[in-house]
Amino acid sequence: MVTQYEITGTNAKGIAASIERGVADGALAPGSSLPPVRTLAEHLGVSPGTVATTYKELRRRGIVVTRGRGGTVVAEAPAVASRRPPKVPEGLRDLAGGHPDPAFLPELTPPAQVARGGRSHRAAPRLARLEELTRAWYERDGVPSAHVTFAHSALDCVARLLSTELRPGDAVAMEDPGYHHLLDLVPALGLRIVPVRVDDEGMRPEELRAAVRGGVRAVICSPRAQNPYGGCFSAARRDALAAVLAEAPDVLVVENDYTAEICGAPLHSLTAGGRLARWAQVRTVTKHLGPDLRWAALACDATTLARHDGRLLLTSGWVSHVLQEAVAGLLADPGARALVDEARTAYAVRREALIGELARRGISAHGGGGLNVWVPVRDEAAVVNGLRSCGWWVAAGARFRIGAGPGVRITTADLLPVEAGRLAADFAAVLGEAQATYGG
């Protein structure tokens, strides 16, 4: 047997459940090899066809992948085990979470009046006041607002869009490195990820072109503050990507503009000017109003709207009107707006301070907008552990990557400029130690 984990079962369903338990429990780690079909069939006393059916189902669900002569292995982000970050060790300065600075979040209070009694809002799922505010929010940045709707979060929205548009086995072009929860979500829906590398201006056009010509059915991208790299579309990059997508008008393009209010960079959206036939842009308020506000706005084309809302109607029905009232109140509140303006300025200063201090020490870093800085390194573990010994906790890049090179992500949202120099000095010292120990 190739693996030490004892796979059991007498039929395809039972064998698949046994392997899934091993993956979920961590006994079968990402990259672990599964036995060849005939070997496992002989061990379990079943037919090779039964094991082949098992592996096919596990591939469809994103739990395993086949690597030609390399055999069948557990996927790098199996659909039953999320890329959750490790717990922050006690006593360390947490720069790994990607969270906003609480000092810039308004106080959350429920609406003053909430009507009593059971009611159904299926006939009018969106509050008119919040819908009006949402249209103005999109129009301010040149995103078409003729068709808008709401969801419970960005991930909830993207999952619904993909599940109504695509079928298991379809391919989705995604950023590499990219947002780890999205990298988990797509294979969990039974879809295939086609990685597209990013740089300081977002997705690279030549790699997106290869993905489109390879038959992807959807593209998920961030027009600014790309997580974790920090890239932001320039007007030229936006135009180049739009030219690529013009070759495949049926491909659904989903933009995740998750830091719309605090990014610190202008929006150059693929959705502007009627460039795309099938499109959606998702925005949330979690980064500037509070993580507990699980509300997302969606602007999209008419077909996408109908499919999204049709599926929503069959599941939760609508987004809580109590939540909608709370969001609307904060979006219109002058005090909350002032906090958001302060946050936008502070985040830019803090992000640029760290990038500058690292550059002074010859360390290249990336972060054109948002809350994070990406620093390419040769050995993620050496850097993470070295900084830990200095009192810092940063995120290893492995959970953000598919095929991109290694790096670490540093959240600068509450890293004061006076701290940036010390962190950069510690970073440089750790890199020097790593080179001496590991050769780079």
For the stretch 5-23, pLDDT in tens is: 899 999 999 999 999 889 8
pLDDT of residue 296: 97
Residue 436 pLDDT greater than 80, yes or no: no
Cα gap 30→32, rounded to integer Å: 6
Q: What is the pLDDT of residues 56-107, one digit of tens each?
A: 989 877 788 888 777 999 987 676 655 566 788 999 999 999 999 999 999 9
Q: What is the pLDDT of residues 343-397, one digit of tens each?
A: 999 999 999 999 999 999 999 999 999 999 999 999 999 999 999 999 999 999 9
Q: What is the token pair recorded at 281?
A: 């842009």
pLDDT of residue 83: 56
Strands 192-199 and 202-203: antiparallel
Q: How far is CA 434 from CA 123, 366, 377, 423, in A?
A: 61, 21, 10, 16
Give the burial class of 291: count Cβ atoms within 10 A of its Cβ; 0-12 exposed, 13-18 middle, 19 or more buried: middle
Q: Decide if 356 contacts 371 (C-beta within 8 A).
A: no
Cα gap 338→192, rounded to integer Å: 42
What 3-state class would DSSP assign to 261? coil
Q: What is the DSSP string of 412-428?
A: -TT--HHHHHHHHHHHH
Cα gap 353→96, rounded to integer Å: 17
Q: What is the DSSP string of 4-61?
A: SS----SSHHHHHHHHHHHHHHTSS-TTPBPPPHHHHHHHHT--HHHHHHHHHHHHHT
The tokens 């809350």 sit on which residue?
371
Strands 72-74 and 93-94: unpaired
Q: Decide if 320 contacts 387 (C-beta within 8 A).
A: no
Q: What is the pLDDT of residues 217-261, one digit of tens each?
A: 999 999 999 999 999 999 999 999 999 999 999 999 999 999 999
Residue 194 pLDDT greater than 80, yes or no: yes
Cα gap 215→128, rounded to integer Å: 40
Q: What is the pLDDT of residues 125-177, one digit of tens each?
A: 999 999 999 999 999 999 999 999 999 999 999 999 999 999 988 999 999 99
The tokens 């509300």 sit on which residue?
295
Using the Cα atoms of residue 21, residue 25, residue 30 and residue 33 in order, give the sign of their dihedral.
negative
Q: What is the pTM of this model?
A: 0.83
pLDDT of residue 440: 44
Neighbour count for residue 151 (Cβ, 10 Å) = 24
